[in-house]
Each structure stands twice: as C-alpha cells, then as structure tokens.
Amino acid sequence: MEDWRRTPLVFWVTSLPPTLWLVVFFLIPLALVWVMSFGELDGLIDIKITGTLANYARALDPLYLEVFGKSLVFAGFTTVISLLVGFPVALAIVFASPRWRPILLLLVILPFWTNLLIRTYALIAVLRVRGFANFSLEWLWDQGNTVLALMGLGSYQLLGDRFEPLELLYNNTAVVIGLVYVHMPFMILPLYAALERLDRSLIEAALDLGASQFRAFLTVVVPLALPGIISGGILVFIPALGSFLTPDLLGGTDSQMIANVIERQFKGANDWPFGAALSFLLMYLTFAALTVRALVNRRAERRGGA
C-alpha cells in the first residue's frame, strides 16, 4: 500500500470531498436525529431536548418489540429465500460462457433502472385478483379443461366448476415476494463475485476423489463462497429490515413492519422524537447484524491463517 504520508497533498485533496459529503449529508443529519430522540414535544412544532429516555422506554413496550420481531422475521425469510434462489443463479452465471456472462449480469441489475415504486406497482398488477398471475392460471385452467374434454372427461369438472382466482396480494406472502424481488440483485452480485474467484480445480479434485456432486457443492463450493453469502445476506437483510414501501403497498392488515410505524411518527402521529428513538433502535439492530458479520469474518480469517 502507498504510504499517504509521502503524498499528503494527494491524500487530502482526494479524501476531502467524500469526507465533507459524509459529514454534511450523513453524520450531521444522523446526529440531529439522535439528539432528537432524547427530546420531548413542546407544542406542535417545537421539540425540547431534555435528555429524556422516555422515547426509548416507550419503544421498548412489548407492542413495538413485537413489530420489531415481525420485521426481523420478514427480513429473515427474505434473506433465506434470496439465498436459496440467488445461489443457483450466481452459479449459473459463473459457469455460463464468457460471451453470455456480461449479458446475464446486466439482466440481474436491469430492474434498478426502474424506480422501486413503479416496480412495486407492477407487482400489484401481476399479483392482484384480476392480475397477470391469475390470468395465466386461468388460461392454464381453460387449456386443462379443453384437454379433458378432448379425452372425453369434460363433464366431470375435474378442475372445479369454475376458476377460483388465488388471493396473492395484500397478505404477508405478497410482502415477502415483493422484498425478495426487490433485494435479489444484492444477493446475486456478491455471490457471483465470490464464486467467480473460486478455483475450479478444487471442485474437480473433490469429484476425482470420489465426492458426489452434491457433496462437492456442500463441502467445497459453499465454504469458499461463504464471504459472498455473508455479504449478500447483510446487503439483503438490512434494507429488507427497514422496508416500508413494500409492506405498505403489498401487505394486508397483518403486514406492518417497524419502518411503517416510524414513517407514521414523522407524519400522521407527528411525534418526531419517538420516531427518532425507533429509528435508532432499528439502527442498533443493524449494527448488531454487522458485528456478527465482522466476528464471522475474523473467525474465517483465523481459520484461513492457521
């Protein structure tokens, strides 16, 4: 590594803009919110900073802890499903021919070219009762009936006497589908980065030594991809934990996540100090997740070094 002391000017010039950016647009606003979380409402607009812990005490009420818990479950499911779906996709991209690889990667990030809100509305159009998913199912149902009729079984109504559309929208499943859909690229890209570096001769060696494909995958590929799995997991878990748009638009009466509660504090409830306290509790949870990653990384490094 280049020693910055030898070229101090270059160091200062290049690091000043990002540092300023970070301080002005991230640390200062964050500090303001943090201070606000120790405040009390004074009338409708003013907030008195009294150093009170009442906001945190309120946030630790079982009611809100339950909402935190539910958000963790949503984010957890999202992460696991993203991993299960994303891993084969990342593997497929790694093993695709070099000509296809950039195109496949482009396809993974393509959704980012569209605004999240518009993608979520598109999902509504897919999932609703008169939506594309149900249209497709209905079409299949019609085809199935035609086939049955051709086989002379048309009068038995084996597929039910009319097509019942599935209730896909406005429930917790819809929320998880939405979260997985939105966050999948964050899982695939780090997995791809980890798997691409993987030395394929190790897999060959495992196979040569008599391991089954599955065994080779579990004992060679997965451990080597672990950094990618952890990075992807973190990148999916953290934003999923703080989602409010997806549960708001796709969820039913049971789908409230903690960010929905926080949003309301800054709007309808007009209780910014409480919203700030909830935000910071959410951030501490996030830090906890990052700490876990750091610990796992360190352990992996130590094992690698030994």
Partner 1 sequence: MAHCKPFRPSRRSFLAGTGAVAAGLTFLPKAGFSAEEKVVNFYNWDTYIGETTLDDFKGASGIEVNMDLFADNAELFAKLKEGNPGYDVIVPSNDYVERMVAANMLMKLDHSKIPNIANIDLAFMNPNHDPGRVYSLPYMWGTIGIGYRKSRVDGVPDSWKWLYESDQYAGKIALLGTPSTVIQIACKYLGYPLNESDPAKLEKAADLIIKQKPSIKVFADDNGQDLLLSGEVDLTMEWNGDILQVMAEDDDISYVVPKEGGLLWEDTLAIPTGAPHPENAHAFMNYVLDAEAGAAIADFIQYATPNAAAKALMDKSYTENPAIFPPDETVKNSEVAIYQGPEYSQLIDRLWTKINAA
Long-range contacts of 99-108 (CB under 8 A, 24+ apart): 105/189, 105/192, 108/184, 108/185, 108/188, 108/189
Burial class (CB in 10 A: 0-12, 13-18, 19+), 63: exposed
Enumerate residues 6+ apart whose C-beta is below 8 A from 53.
Answer: 38
Nearer to partner 1, 231 or 255 (CB): 255
Give the SS3 label for residue 119.
helix
Nearer to partner 1, 74 or 192 (CB): 74
Strand ranges for the chain from DSSP E: 39-42, 46-49
Q: How far is CA 200 from CA 40, 88, 155, 230, in A?
A: 60, 16, 57, 21
Nearer to partner 1, 169 or 234 (CB): 169
Nearer to partner 1, 174 or 216 (CB): 174
CB of 287 to partner 1, least distance (A): 24
CB of 184 to partner 1, least distance (A): 23
CB of 175 to partner 1, least distance (A): 12
CB of 105 to partner 1, least distance (A): 27
CB of 120 to partner 1, least distance (A): 10
Q: Which residues form the interface with partner 1 (CB under 8 A)?
A: 41, 43-45, 63-64, 66-67, 70, 115, 117-118, 121, 128-130, 167, 169-170, 248-249, 251-256, 260-261, 264-271, 274
Nearer to partner 1, 27 or 117 (CB): 117
Q: Which two tokens stand for residue 258?
A: 């903690």
